Amino acid sequence: MKRKSIGELRVMCIDDDPFSIDTLTVALGNIGVTDIKSIDNAKSALEVIGSQSDGTDVILLDIHMPDVDGIEFIQALGANGYQGAVAVVSGAVDVILDMSKVLAIGRGITFLGTIKKPAKASELEALLNKLIVS
Amino acid sequence: MSAVDISAMIDIFGMEDKALFSSKLNSFIERFDRDIEKIDSAIEANRMEDIVFDAHKLKSASRMVGALALVDLFESIEAAAKENDLENVKKYFDQALGEALER
């Protein structure tokens, strides 16, 4: 769903690393995002997404995570009717990042793009601006 | 702790905030101390998958504070562990410890 400003976006960050997720959350706050949900594992995120009615606009997803990794998460996300967008923020190699894009698009999920960790605030802003109506 | 590139943190956070950077560096040092022990234990037990996982995470964290020398060393540890090359894992691990202690 398109929004009028970055401040209106509902953003979910999924990363098992507290240091990464804290950094990402601060950077998002600095570019004006106020509604940020941070979840440290993909399994819990799937439960939240499946149960919430208000809707997440975009998920910022890590790839290398224990238990359910980012690739498995995208596969599962396609099956549960998620209507928002996904972007991958990861240190994974390019072939894995490309795979995440193909998987998401193949499952009808809006794929905003990939950012190599560590994400720069300007990169996050450019990515999220794709969801803003002019 | 290894020299850090402040410009990297400015790019990541989108602003220059000395208090924030200081807080992140302190968090990184705590994280480094904890995870370096995990890697050390994994080396002792020859658990290559754990070494790959923790070295990857520390590489990423090092990048977030602009500790570029550590980024290269954890990348080398990760690559060596993927190749099951314990000798080079130990070599780069010792270098990472030396780099951290030097500062």
For A87-129, what is each residue's pLDDT tens digit?
999 988 899 999 999 999 999 999 999 999 899 999 999 999 9
Residues of A in contact with B24 (CB under 8 A): 23
Selected for mutation to probe chain A from B6, B13, B27, B78 (highest A CB count within 10 Å) is: B13
Sign of torsion over alpha carbons A19, A68, A59, A113: positive
Sign of CA dihedral A70, A71, A77, A82: positive
Task: Please give the distance of CA B80 from its chain centroid, rounded to a whole number.
Answer: 15
B27-55 pLDDT tens trace: 999 999 999 999 999 999 999 999 999 99
The torsion defined by the Cα of A97, A102, A105 and A106, in degrees rounded to 10, comes to -150
pTM score: 0.87
DSSP state of A3: B
Q: Which of A15, A19, A21, A89 to mutate to test the interface with B (most CBs of B within 10 A)?
A: A19
What value does the mean pLDDT of chain B take?
A: 92
- How many other CB atoms sit within 10 Å of the CB of residue B83? 10
Nearest to A84 by CA among A8, A9, A28: A9
Sheet with A58-61, edge to edge strand ranges: A35-39, A10-14, A58-61, A85-90, A110-116
Contact residues on chain A for B33, CB-CB shorter than 8 A:
none
How many angstroms separate the CA atoms of A19 and B90, rounded? Answer: 25
Residue window 32-61, chain A: list those with CB within 8 Å of chain B: none
